[in-house]
């Protein structure tokens, strides 16, 4: 939709103020360190002028007054060489904050406006800048002259080459949203909702999948071409045989005609195959380009998410009596809009933590031989297919001995174990909930929120965070995140014959382990990775799937989890890395255990994306309960494997009901397959082996009564137990279900208790 559609003028005004306020913050901070920067003054004057003009258009008088005085200050600084010390910069920054507040209030639906008592102190402070300058100028020119006129002359700007009125032809338009620096080119933009972008991303992914469906079709035609060639070869042999048998001329002519037609068919087939191959390549290339362009539309420069950080760092450092310079690198690095929004809180926490905990006072830095002004570096870059964010400072760093003592004092590990921990292992304790190296509670620290908020947020985005310290030299935090949440780089594996995807960012490593390297201690299996024992768990058991990993000489293992809580997940085999478009699961399914989302592979097959954090919790439950299956070692027999579980077919047109029933039964150890309606169920029971069928009544194509009747009339299937589960709890429906042969009739309301599971156990026994 267009840039104005769906947005009121005051909402556009709020957007304009947000953009221009970012520019005011940026150039005010530049002016604080470079007072003679003429370009910064020009940019500040234009930003204030734009806000004033926009405020007049939408009749927001408080913003007009604030912006007008700020513009006067910048003009005076330009033409009268008005000095702007730190105290003046503070007042101007307060004015910028007030403009944001006014715009936010003006855009509210209830028409709220800023009260005069809120506005007056800011206006007085801004007028004070001009008053002080006027008094100084008057005192220097004619000592004793009354300065009252100078103080009150701020209602109108002084004469200048570019008047403050809206007639200035060089000023940017008041309603321009996202205006750049003077002289920059502003692209035409439109507003598109995040939901629309997500839908486009999903459709682009589907187009990419659909484009690959031509390949199997082309491959089948190649096979047809081979068969055609074989047919022509047989015809050639027949011709040679007829010539040896001295057959009549008619047979020879007929065979020659057949060979000629077959040759023409072969030529035509070869041409069509070439055309199909070319179309397949073009279609796939076009789909890939579309996918990349839609993905790019979700990306924003890193600068968009960190515009307010220099101001926050400056204000916080001043409040603590410290001097800090924030250096931001990689402003043009493209970041997914969702990731950029969610990064603000953890990055702000890391910056605040660095200033409060890590950076020393100017006196302490001087004593340590460091510059009085500390430096914090914030950098974003793309590395190895991931987004890397680095926050590093040159402060005091971390005292490892003190950290070790703190860990022991908190009784997280014993003193003997703490003595053996490496620096990397010690640093991981910083991310535990509630852990802090400080004893005192202050406004900025000790409020129960530690680095765990950074860790948890990064993990939610399928990323990892590491901390390193240089005692006396500073701290460094490294965040590794996927480039986008709409598309992930994943390792595809096979578990129980089905594909599953594990986000690469959450995999510690993968390996193929000889079965002889599997060890057992206290009934639990493990292998040694470096100096660490890593427990082994079968993926099919964790996910509640049937079967067991294949009995090969080596087992395929994915190592997951943090160093202090790490497991090796045994899968059937590795299928390779893939870039997958993430599709959110239907909200009606609620949260599926161990699964975060789904995707579609290039061949059109569905694939579930594993929720690694949820999976690790499931592993912990299995380990704690002592219910782990054994992974066969070299030379062991299959005596340790479980007997085959009973198989149940669930037939229901409601995906929610299917998944509820499936989950309940799988959790009890049954192997469950599903069908979407009666016809699908009928096809399934004729081709598969099941111990029980559970069916709904109201379904398209074939209802439950018809489905059950077909089963009971079939001489092979008539002994198969069938349970009807329906919302229809009327006596006539129950009677009809039993008449067509159902062995059990149950109302769906019974899902809330054990009735369904008890009925299944009554019919076929426990799994």
Tens digits of residue pLDDT in 515-562: 888 888 766 788 888 778 888 888 888 888 866 667 778 889 999 987
Residues 348 and 272 in one domain: no
Answer whether residue 185 is part of any domain: no
Pairing relationship of beta strands 722-726 and 692-695 according to DSSP bridges: parallel
For residues 633 and 502, membership in a common domain is answered with yes
346 and 476: one domain?
yes
**Are residues 108 and 243 both part of a single domain?**
no
86 within domain boundaries: yes
- For residue 6, the model assigns a pLDDT of 40
Q: Is residue 186 part of a domain?
A: no
Going by pLDDT thresholds of 50, 70 and 90, the confidence category of residue 381 is: very high
Pairing state of beta strands 532-538 and 524-529? antiparallel
pTM given for the model? 0.56
Please report which confidence band the pLDDT of residue 172 belongs to, taking 50, 70 and 90 as the band edges.
Answer: very low
Over residues 628-653, mean pLDDT: 65
We report the CATH number of the domain holding residue 372 as 3.30.565.10
Q: What are 297-351's pLDDT values in tens digits?
A: 878 899 888 888 898 898 899 888 999 999 999 999 988 888 888 888 889 889 9
Give residue 470's pLDDT: 84
Among residues 617, 640, 663, the one where a domain terminates is 640
Say which residues have a Cβ less than 8 Å from residue 733's Cβ, sequence separation at least 6.
697, 726
306 and 292 fall within a common domain? no
- Specify whether 400 is located in the same domain as 317: yes
- Residues 6 or more apart whose CB falls under 8 angstroms from that of 654 comprise 696
In a domain, 161, yes or no: no
The pLDDT of 371-396, averaged and rounded, is: 90
Q: Which of 78-92, 210-224, 702-716 has the lowest mean pLDDT?
A: 210-224
In the predicted model, is pLDDT for residue 236 greater than 60? yes
520 vs 370, residue with greater confidence = 370
636 in the same domain as 520: yes
- DSSP category for residue 360: P
Q: What is the biggest distance separating any 2 CA atoms in the chain, rounded to whole angstroms? A: 137
Q: How many domains would you assign to the chain?
A: 5
Does one domain contain both 597 and 505? yes
Q: Is there a domain that residue 446 lies in?
A: yes
Domain endpoint, select from 604, 624, 640: 640
User: Which long-range contacts link 754-759 to residues 24+ away (Cβ below 8 Å)?
Assistant: 756/661, 756/664, 756/725, 757/664, 757/665, 757/668, 759/723
The answer to whether residues 109 and 208 belong to one domain is no
Question: Is residue 13 situated within a structural domain?
Answer: yes
CA separation for the pair 696, 18 (Å, rounded): 56
Token pair 């004793």 in the structure block, residue: 144
By CB neighbour count within 10 A (0-12 exposed, 13-18 middle, 19+ buried), where does 219 fall?
Answer: exposed
Size (the chain), residues: 767
Q: For residue 627, what pLDDT is reported?
A: 60
Q: Are residues 455 and 493 in the same domain?
A: no
Is 13 in the same domain as 112?
yes
Does any domain span residue 404?
Answer: yes
Instruction: Give the DSSP letter string of 541-577.
Output: HHTT-SS-----SEEEEEEEEETTEEEEEEESEEEEE
CATH number, domain with residue 70: 1.20.120.160
Average pLDDT of every residue of the chain: 78
Contact (CB, 8 A) for 320 and 314:
no
> Is 757 in the same domain as 663?
yes
145 pLDDT exceeds 60? no
Which structural domain range is residue 123 located in? 9-155
C-alpha distances in Å from residue 764, one per residue of 12, 601, 690, 723: 66, 37, 11, 11
Any domain includes 628: yes
Sequence-separated (6 or more) residues with CB below 8 Å from residue 154: 69, 72, 127, 130
Question: What's the CATH code of the domain at 695?
Answer: 3.40.50.2300
Of the candidates 90, 123, 155, which is a domain's last residue?
155
pLDDT tens figures, 669-682: 888 888 888 887 88
Helical pair 214-244 and 249-297, crossing angle rounded to 10 deg: 170
């Amino acid at each position: 939709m267009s840039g104005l559609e769906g947005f009121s003028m005051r909402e556009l005004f709020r957007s304009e103020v947000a953009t221009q306020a970012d520019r005011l913050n940026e150039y005010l901070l530049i002016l604080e360190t470079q007072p003679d920067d003429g370009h910064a003054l020009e940019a500040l004057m234009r930003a204030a002028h734009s806000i004033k003009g926009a405020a007049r258009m939408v009749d927001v008088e408080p913003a007009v007054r604030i912006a007008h005085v700020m513009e006067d200050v910048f003009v005076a600084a330009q033409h009268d060489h008005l000095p702007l010390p730190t105290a003046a910069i503070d007042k101007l920054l307060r004015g910028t904050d007030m403009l944001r507040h006014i715009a936010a209030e003006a855009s509210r639906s209830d028409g709220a406006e800023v009260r005069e008592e809120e506005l007056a102190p800011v206006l007085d402070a801004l007028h004070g800048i001009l008053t002080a300058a006027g008094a100084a100028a008057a005192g220097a020119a004619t000592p004793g002259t009354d300065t009252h006129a100078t103080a009150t002359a701020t209602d109108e700007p002084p004469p200048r080459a570019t008047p403050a009125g809206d007639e200035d032809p060089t000023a940017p338009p008041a309603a321009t949203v996202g205006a750049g620096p003077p002289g920059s080119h502003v692209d035409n933009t439109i507003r598109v909702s995040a939901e629309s972008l997500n839908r486009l991303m999903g459709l682009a992914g589907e187009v990419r999948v659909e484009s690959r469906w031509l390949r199997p079709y082309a491959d089948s035609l190649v096979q047809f071409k081979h068969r055609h060639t074989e047919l022509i070869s047989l015809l050639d042999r027949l011709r040679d045989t007829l010539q040896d048998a001295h057959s009549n001329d008619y047979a020879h002519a007929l065979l020659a005609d057949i060979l000629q037609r077959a040759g023409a068919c072969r030529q035509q087939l070869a041409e069509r195959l070439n055309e199909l191959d070319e179309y397949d390549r073009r279609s796939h290339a076009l789909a890939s380009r579309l996918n990349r362009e839609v993905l790019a539309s979700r990306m924003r420069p890193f600068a968009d998410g960190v515009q307010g950080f220099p101001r926050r760092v400056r204000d916080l450092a001043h409040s603590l009596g410290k001097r800090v310079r924030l250096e931001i690198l990689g402003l043009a690095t493209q970041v997914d809009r969702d990731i950029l929004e969610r990064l603000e809180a953890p990055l702000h926490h890391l910056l605040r933590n660095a200033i409060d905990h890590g950076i020393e006072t100017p006196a302490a830095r001087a004593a340590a031989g460091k510059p009085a002004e500390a430096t914090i570096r914030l950098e974003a870059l793309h590395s190895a297919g991931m987004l890397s964010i680095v926050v590093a400072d040159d402060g005091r760093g971390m005292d490892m001995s003190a950290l070790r003592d703190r860990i022991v004092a908190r009784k997280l590990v014993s003193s003997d174990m703490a003595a053996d921990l490496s620096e990397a292992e010690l640093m991981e304790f910083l991310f535990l909930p509630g852990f802090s190296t400080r004893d005192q509670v202050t406004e900025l620290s000790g409020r129960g929120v530690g680095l765990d908020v950074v860790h948890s947020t990064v993990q939610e985005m399928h990323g990892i965070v590491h901390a390193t310290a240089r005692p006396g030299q500073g701290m460094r935090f490294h965040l590794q995140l996927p480039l986008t949440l709409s598309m992930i780089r994943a390792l595809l594996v096979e578990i129980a014959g089905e594909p599953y995807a594990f986000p690469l960012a959450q995999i510690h490593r993968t390996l193929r382990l000889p079965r002889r390297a599997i060890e057992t201690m206290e009934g639990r299996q493990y292998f040694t990775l470096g100096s660490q024992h890593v427990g082994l768990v079968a993926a099919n058991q964790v996910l509640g799937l049937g079967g067991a990993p294949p009995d090969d000489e080596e087992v395929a293992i994915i190592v997951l989890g943090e160093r202090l809580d790490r497991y090796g997940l045994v899968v059937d085999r590795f299928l390779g890395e893939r870039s997958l478009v993430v599709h959110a699961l239907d909200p009606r399914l609620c949260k599926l255990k161990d699964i975060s989302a789904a995707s579609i592979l290039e061949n059109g097959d569905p694939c579930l994306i594993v929720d690694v954090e949820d999976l690790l919790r499931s592993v912990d439950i299995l380990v704690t309960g002592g219910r782990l299956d054994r992974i066969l070692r070299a030379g062991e027999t299959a005596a340790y494997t479980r007997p085959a579980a009973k198989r149940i077919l669930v037939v229901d047109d409601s995906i929610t009901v299917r998944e509820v029933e499936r989950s309940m039964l799988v959790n009890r150890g049954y192997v469950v397959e599903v069908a979407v309606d009666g016809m699908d169920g009928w096809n399934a029971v004729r081709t598969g082996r099941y111990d029980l069928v559970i069916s709904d009544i109201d379904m398209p194509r074939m209802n439950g009564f018809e489905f059950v009747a077909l089963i009971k009339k079939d001489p092979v299937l008539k002994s198969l137990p069938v349970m009807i589960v329906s919302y229809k709890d009327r006596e006539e429906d129950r009677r009809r279900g039993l008449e067509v042969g159902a062995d059990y009739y149950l109302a769906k309301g019974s899902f809330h208790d054990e009735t369904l599971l008890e009925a299944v156990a009554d019919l076929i026994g426990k799994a």
